[in-house]
Structure 1
Amino acid sequence: MGVWRPASGFAALSWMPVAAMAVVAAADIVAGPGVGFLPLISLGPAFSGLIGGWRRTATFGAVALVLCVGLGLYDGLFEERRGFTAMASVAGVTAVGIAAAVMRSRREAELASVRSIAEVAQRVLLRPVPRTAGPLQAAVSYTSAVAEARIGGDLYEIVASPHGIRVIVGDVQGKGLAAVEAAAVVLGAFREAAHDEPDLSGLGERLERSLARDLEAERFVTAVLVEIGSDQEAVLLNYGHPSPMLVRADGTAEFPKPPGYALPLGLGMLCADGPALHRVAFAPGDQILLYTDGVTEARDADGSFYALGDRAILLKDPDAEGALEALRADLVRHVAGPLHDDAAMLLLRYHEAAG
């Protein structure tokens, strides 16, 4: 089955001015002056203004004007006002097209600048995770819901602290600059508190206080915190986030549920009790996949959600990054189009070479 590609659409648009003027000229010659096709020559510069710069539009406008004069003389339209009216139509459409092309070029330059700033923000906020951290191999994947986007509200980080390897994956409520601001607050607080706080509950409380101090009251962040030490277990703290997928060495997958569901970060003032710690065995050969709801809520054309648990077999690649890329590619195939929400995944693999 054929798939539309942007490049082919762009090529078709680039030829539309030539095709339009050729069709109008042929129709005018065949039908004669009585039908009044000549003003439609202005379609050439009009279509040209859709793509390309102002010089391209001006060039097609000049060609259309010359063609209009030639056909007007051929049809004898300059003996009356119709020829001059057609020329005025071509000149007017060309002028408007040039103005539109100039404005579009400026907007494209501004958009390029914004994208460049977003890329810098991404490098600051979502730094590349280390490929190894203590006994762990790590890999991360971030797929934006918008093809041109470079950053969104999903966040992740790994910190090797004196208290163990500490990890966060979260999803900020909302979109736009406000979501980026919230992500910056959470990641900044996590990077500092991960070194200072001796236990994971204290780390979560630090994040809660930072959000309450620095963000608007209605802003919240779902997140899951993970701590992995030297005792072959993982400690989890879940703030209203999807449960991680734990893949055992034999390939079986499970989603360890917290003992109680807690409110997201930023809503702690609404509940006296925070989330409870829960521990799961995490031995060499095991894997933990942390992700945002953009993964599990991704739908195919029939509206079926992405069955993450059934895809655990895709994480069999010996290389952590290769395994995660296979899972990301499968997610994109499932949707068969742009995602409806950003999808972040962070894979932690307990390898045999620990210590």
Structure 2
Amino acid sequence: MEAVRRLMDLRHRGRAEDLPRVLASAAPLLEAEAATVLLVDYGQVSLQPLRGTTLDTAGTVPVEGTLAGRAFTTAQHQWIEQSDGGLLWLPLLHGAERLGVLEFRFKAYPPESTRHDIEVIAALVAELIASRRFYGDAVEHTRRRMPMQLAAEIIWNQLPPLTFAVDGTMVTAVLEPCYEVGGDAFDYAANADVLHVALFDTVGHGISASALTTLTLNTYRNARRSGLSLLDTCRSIDKWIRAQYPGAFVTALVAELDMATGSYRRISAGHPAELFLRGGRALPALPTPNALPLGLGHMLARPPQVIEQQLEAGDTLVLYTDGITEARDASGTLFGVERLSDFMLTALHRGTPAPEMMRQLIQAIVSYEEGELRDDATAAMLQWRRHH
């Protein structure tokens, strides 16, 4: 309780960068020799010591091929025995969002009562990081391995957490290149039994694209919070893009899922169809597009069509921008929808957690283009389970 009290004091008069110092003082109270916060970087390839950490042994840890990384990717505790004791890594989860890991050094593997205590501490540390990050730049400095372009800064500051889960339903997303992205964005919101999900792909790159994306994202939220239907939401976004950026356009998938019944409704505004996966196979794609890209809607007299689909428990939908399927290898061969489908079905068969599927997917895309993406690549995955 004393360790909890010291950490709780940070809620009212502390910064994120004060967390390492407080954890160091609280570690002996948990029968640990040391405790270190490691946050995942924006590219989700390494774990970085939170700014303010002074331990000589603290350094960057790769996600791939390490026990600390396995704790992050699986959200399961990991332990390694050493000559002078051992290290225990616990996942840092804010809801379903993976922030990093909490590393403890012990003289011996801790008993169950101590493990329970440090699980409570890990949950509290995650809450503190999530709540204190907005009062300073320590978390941002920690997560960045290189300077972020202004266009990407604008977009990241407006996005929701990458992963969200409620009562068995999960939505999780990824964006790349994370330090330069400017034209892609996603959003979601759970209101009562309805999960709202949207994916946007803006024409152009850089600051101009991020400005158009900003307008699109906030118009979408305004329409959603005003209680507009899917049809009227698309009309509102279309109107504002046309008024503020004549000639510009944004492709989009704007969807609603009734989490109680599995009823899925969406409009594709010039956007690729989502992957529809069920029982280990890909089902036929939903009709697309059923509206012109947002900003060009005035060129077609008929209104956008809302497509409806009844989901079954366990169904997975993968929304993506063309930067995923149009990625090219050295020979110019497209990554393509079929390869994307095979990748996702294989990961589902292995039982890979949804957030980890998205991380592995974006790493596969980056590797396919040999580290140099030609376009923003964004994907969002929606899994549905029945409401309890």
TM-score by length of 1: 0.61
Indicate which of 364, 367, 375 corresponds to 1:341.
375
Deviation at 1:143, TM superposition (A): 1.0
Letter of the 2:355 partner, please give it: E
Query: Given the alignment of the two structures, is residue 329 of structure 1 paired with residue 329 of structure 2, yes or no?
Result: no
C-alpha change, 1:116 and 1:299, in structure 2 (3 Å) is closer
Secondary structure of residue in 1 paired with 2:173: strand
| Residues 22-60 of structure 1: CA deviation (Å, up to 9, x unaligned) | xxxxxxxxxxxxxxxxxxxxxxxxxxxxxxxxxxxxxxx
Instruction: Write the distance in 1 (CA, Å) between the matches of 2:233 and 2:320.
Output: 20
Deviation at 1:115, TM superposition (A): 3.4
Deviation at 1:268, TM superposition (A): 1.1
Letter of the 1:328 partner, please give it: I
Report the equivalent of 2:221: 191
| Residues 115-142 of structure 1: CA deviation (Å, up to 9, x unaligned) | 3755642332223244214552121111
Secondary structure of residue in 2 paired with 1:302: coil
Query: Given the alignment of the two structures, is residue 351 of structure 1 paired with residue 369 of structure 2, yes or no?
Result: no
Query: Given the alignment of the two structures, is residue 308 of structure 1 paired with residue 340 of structure 2, yes or no?
Result: yes
Instruction: Write the distance in 1 (CA, Å) between the matches of 2:192 and 2:289.
Output: 28
Deviation at 1:339, TM superposition (A): 1.3
Secondary structure of residue in 2 paired with 1:298: coil
Query: Higher strand proportion, which one?
Result: 2
| Residues 255-278 of structure 1: CA deviation (Å, up to 9, x unaligned) | 523266421000011111232111
| Residues 189-217 of structure 1: CA deviation (Å, up to 9, x unaligned) | 1112113235211221121122223x221
The answer to whether the Cα contact below 8 Å between 2:188 and 2:197 also exists between their aligned partners in 1 is yes
Secondary structure of residue in 1 paired with 2:187: strand
Instruction: Write the distance in 1 (CA, Å) between the matches of 2:355 and 2:288.
Output: 31
Query: Higher helix proportion, which one?
Result: 1
Indicate which of 234, 239, 243 corresponds to 2:269.
239
Secondary structure of residue in 1 paired with 2:255: strand
The answer to whether the Cα contact below 8 Å between 1:129 and 1:158 also exists between their aligned partners in 2 is no
Report the equivalent of 1:208: 238
RMSD: 2.5
Taking the TM superposition and a 5 Å limit, the aligned residue runs for 1:136-175 are 136-144=169-177, 149-162=179-192, 164-175=194-205
Rg comparison, structure with higher value = 1
Taking the TM superposition and a 5 Å limit, the aligned residue runs for 1:1-355 are 115=148, 117-118=150-151, 120-133=153-166, 135-144=168-177, 149-162=179-192, 164-213=194-243, 215-229=244-258, 230-248=260-278, 250-258=279-287, 261-306=290-335, 307-316=339-348, 317-351=351-385, 354-355=387-388
Instruction: Write the distance in 1 (CA, Å) between the matches of 2:266 and 2:282.
Output: 17
Letter of the 1:131 partner, please give it: F
Number of residues of Structure 1 aligned to a counterpart in Structure 2: 238
**Stretches of structure 1 lacking an aligned partner (at least 5 in a row):** 1-111
- Post-superposition, which runs of at least 4 consecutive aligned residues in structure 1 deviate over 4 A? 116-120
C-alpha change, 1:176 and 1:302, in structure 2 (3 Å) is same
**Stretches of structure 2 lacking an aligned partner (at least 5 in a row):** 1-144
Report the equivalent of 2:86: none
The answer to whether the Cα contact below 8 Å between 2:172 and 2:380 also exists between their aligned partners in 1 is yes
Letter of the 2:148 partner, please give it: R
C-alpha change, 1:165 and 1:216, in structure 2 (3 Å) is same
